[in-house]
Amino acid sequence: MWHKPREKAVLTRLSVNINKVATLRNARGGNVPDVLRFARDCERFGAQGITVHPRPDERHIRRSDVYDLSRVVTTEFNIEGNPREPFMELVCDVCPTQVTLVPDALDQLTSNHGWDTRACLDDLTHIIRRLHEHHIRASVFVDPDPLMVEYARCAGADRVELYTGPYAEMFRLNPDKALEAYRPAAEKAHELGLGLNAGHDLNLDNTRPFAQAFPWLDEVSIGHALIADALYLGIDETIRRYRDCLLPA
């Protein structure tokens, strides 16, 4: 189905990835810090979404956390993960606002590449159809390649999330070059009427330029840097600063 491109800038939403909070809790046992309380506080301080990435080894977010969070999150709930059957059973049971499909290996430390949406077209089409049957918005994690964006739309995706790890690395050396490397994929998503998300290694230095370069950006999901900043600034001030980074130019 053809989607008409949106012409106006959108207000980019901040979704806080709380995996690192669960990592800290799990390191000691017990329930300190309290993941549910932290999620509620993030919303209270202005976060417009909560993101989790439950992994099979449950080294941070557990399946039980996902169920508990689904009962308390009042903003958008975004669940990331590789769509193996246990993950699909979980998200189809919980029915979050959005599922972000990520091609992680079982033992992967963190996400470091997007889908080959052309090679995986049939599988992704089936998976996204299943998510849509449960009224879940489907976002596909892709490298900044216009072809991968185009095939994500062919698979029925509602959005793509551009993997911004390389952007963050390049930004430290050449911000303009970093942004231009992402422009073809971001503009292709806009042209096709796909929603545009971003995440991974975004921080207080590089988020504002990315959001201003692509004013149709729908959402950023930020975890590691945001939680690290909160150790110094406090979570309320940190969320305020990231929200400021997303204001229109």
Active site residues: 53, 80, 200
Specify the amino acid at residue 57.
Answer: D
Q: Which of 37, 39, 47, 35 is nearest to 242 (CA)?
A: 47
Alpha-carbon torsion, ordered 209, 97, 137, 5, to 10 deg: -40
Q: Would you list the DSSP string of 22-91?
A: HHHHHHH-TTSS-HHHHHHHHHHTT-SEEEE---TT-SSS-HHHHHHHHHH--SEEEEEE---HHHHHHH
Backbone angles phi, psi at 231, to 5 degrees: -65, -30
Q: Which CB contacts under 8 angstroms, 24+ apart, belong to 126-132?
A: 127/83, 127/88, 127/101, 128/101, 128/155, 128/156, 128/157, 129/156, 130/88, 130/92, 131/91, 131/92, 131/99, 132/156
